[in-house]
Structure 1
């Protein structure tokens, strides 16, 4: 039985993407830009730098510096803080307890900044369940590049074929699949994700127990 599992954060542990979409649109409108739903969907699962570059390529007259972009995004996020307790997937708490009790080695591999990951997990009282926490900002390329998962598995001392990864976004699923892991996809039809190619599909995190613990 496999005893290693890595979770993504956004969209898996917290239902944060609708909130991120709202904040990005507020930021863009403040600066005189509009983005289509199609472009909004393309940035789902991206980190901030990749989103900035996508705007440069696809939004007419988007010429602001990355420094100004970051400052503006930070300002909007400060004005509209996430209510983490309202968007946490409550299934995560009993699932984590069962995985730990069964001897699972648990990792986190998120595109978010390390500071934000630690802050969110701390507020949600989940930090102690994770043996390793890795941010996409530690790498030159974030998801869909598989480097974050390859690195995390190396740190965990596990071969890809023996490691489950729980993802939802197109980029995250592509990264996990390219890394050779056993991919568990949390279904989500709100953002036009391509969720093909996973090994397992779930609607609730509670279903992971059946996959990983064979119950």
Structure 2
């Protein structure tokens, strides 16, 4: 029996991965790093440390990752301040339904706490959540199960009582390894067969999660 839902954030609740992609493409053009925008397809679900390792493997050990992170935040903020950060269709409806069904609601995001709390608060959905685990609260990033195990603990459920909602392959693997049932809502990256096999369901949007949740 499901007693709680654990949400990923970027690419699942918010259409933020495409904003990051635009920021990286701009940085790549400015600093001469070819194909930087496309690196998003290889790093979805990574935390800061794992992305640093990846970028240095691609662009060299002298890649200025701290400056890159600062520049990404600057451009991301400029885009969001101008255009807003859209929520994915069905996101708030799923959150509302979870609360109506008296389910515990948690967040398991690789993003930092300051960024995540700001975006959730700005969108008016922070209060739906009972517990949070941010990227700076774990020692191992997705696909390691640590973040989902901690998220279950944060909302007071056992892993086998939890349903995870994820968009990224690394997140699906993380939640599955932790022992949660997983619904995947692919965003930028479509799942390979081995990832699809680890998901309970693969759907096209969060709107398709609503009838599944209503039957629980």
Does the 8 A contact of 1:52 with 1:69 survive in 2? no
User: TM (normalized to structure 1)?
Assistant: 0.88
Aligned to 1:186: 185
Aligned to 2:23: 23
Distance 1:207 1:22 in 2: 28
User: TM (normalized to structure 2)?
Assistant: 0.88
Q: How far apart are 1:122 and its partner, in Å?
A: 0.7
Q: Residue 83 and residue 105 in structure 1: after superposition, are their counterparts in 2 closer, same or farther (change >3 A)?
A: farther
List alignment gaps of at least 5 residues for structure 1.
none
Q: How far apart are 1:172 and its partner, in Å?
A: 0.8
Coordinate RMSD, CA, aligned = 2.2
Does the 8 A contact of 1:149 with 1:175 survive in 2? yes
Q: Residue 84 and residue 102 in structure 1: after superposition, are their counterparts in 2 closer, same or farther (change >3 A)?
A: farther
- CA deviations over 1:153-187 (Å, ceiling 9, x no partner): 12222121110000011111111111110001113
Matches within 5 A, 1:1-215: 1-35=1-35, 39-59=39-59, 61=60, 63-81=62-80, 87-188=86-187, 190-194=188-192, 195-196=195-196, 197-214=198-215
Instruction: Say which SS state the counterpart of residue 80 (structure 2) adopts.
Output: coil
Instruction: Say which SS state the counterpart of residue 34 (structure 1) adopts.
Output: coil
Q: Report runs of 4+ in structure 1 exceeding 6 Å deviation.
A: none
List alignment gaps of at least 5 residues for structure 2.
none
Q: Residue 155 and residue 84 in structure 1: after superposition, are their counterparts in 2 closer, same or farther (change >3 A)?
A: farther
Distance 1:26 1:49 in 2: 22
Q: Residue 145 and residue 205 in structure 1: after superposition, are their counterparts in 2 closer, same or farther (change >3 A)?
A: same
